Structure 1
Amino acid sequence: MKAKAITASIGMPGGAVSAEFHIDTGRLRIFERGMLRVELFPPQSWFTVASVAGNSRWGTRPLEADMRLVVESFILQRFGMKAYRGETSSAQRVFDSRSESLADHL
C-alpha cells in the first residue's frame, strides 16, 4: 500500500509553488508551476524541513503546516520578500522572462 504524500501549495502570479513529502520514502519534492525544481532524499529532506520548522515536533513525518513553511522558504529564497507578500512581483517578472527567448531582448 502506497502512503499518501503530505503536501502544501502557495499560489503565485505565474503559477503555484508546491511541496510534497512522501512518508514512505522520506522524499521531499518542490514544484514550481508544475515543474520539479528540487528533489531531496533522507537525511537532506529531513534537514530541509527541520531548518524551517524548528519548533514543530514532526520527527520524520512533517505536518501540512511544516510543508507550508518549506514552500514559503523556497519562495523567499528564489524570488524574495516582495514575491512572497504578493506585491507587484519580481516573481512575475522572473516567470515572464523565462518564457521569452533571448532574441526578444535583442
Structure 2
Amino acid sequence: MFRSTPVIASKTVGGERIHAEFLCDTGRLRIIGGITVQAELFPPHSWFAIASVAGYSRWGTRPDETDLLRLIDNFVRLPGQSTLRAEP
C-alpha cells in the first residue's frame, strides 16, 4: 500500500493548538483543534478550500505549510468557530 507524507501546519489560536493536515495522495484535508477533528474535506472541496486562501501560491495539488497556515487563519474566522478564535 502506498503511503504519502502529509503536509502539516500548526498554529496556536486562542490558547489552543490548531493543525491543518493535507494528504496529497487522497486530497483529504483535516483541521484539528487540540485532539478534535473540526473539519474534514475531500476533493474537490478540499481543493476549493485551499485555493480560496492560497492567493498567488503555485500550490497545484500540493499545498505547502504557508498555504495551510492561511487556511487555519481563514477557518478560525468562520462563523461557528468561536471556541477557536484568537483573543483580541
TM surpasses 0.5:
yes
User: 2:34 aligns to what?
Assistant: 33
The within-5 A match list for 1:1-106 is: 1-77=2-78, 78-79=81-82, 83-84=85-86, 86-87=87-88
Give TM-score, length-normalised by structure 2. 0.85
**Higher gyration radius (CA):** 1
Q: Percent identity?
A: 43
Q: Cα RMSD over matched residues?
A: 1.7
The size of the alignment, in residue pairs, is: 84
- How far the C-alpha of 1:13 sits from its partner, in A, is 3.6
More helix by share: 1
- Runs of at least 5 residues in structure 2 that lack an aligned partner in the other structure: none
More strand by share: 2
Give TM-score, length-normalised by structure 1. 0.72
One-letter amino acid of the counterpart of residue 35, structure 2: G
Structure 1 residue ranges, 4+ long, deviating more than 6 angstroms after superposition: none
- Runs of at least 5 residues in structure 1 that lack an aligned partner in the other structure: 88-106
C-alpha distance in 2, partners of 1:68/1:6?
11
C-alpha distance in 2, partners of 1:8/1:76?
17
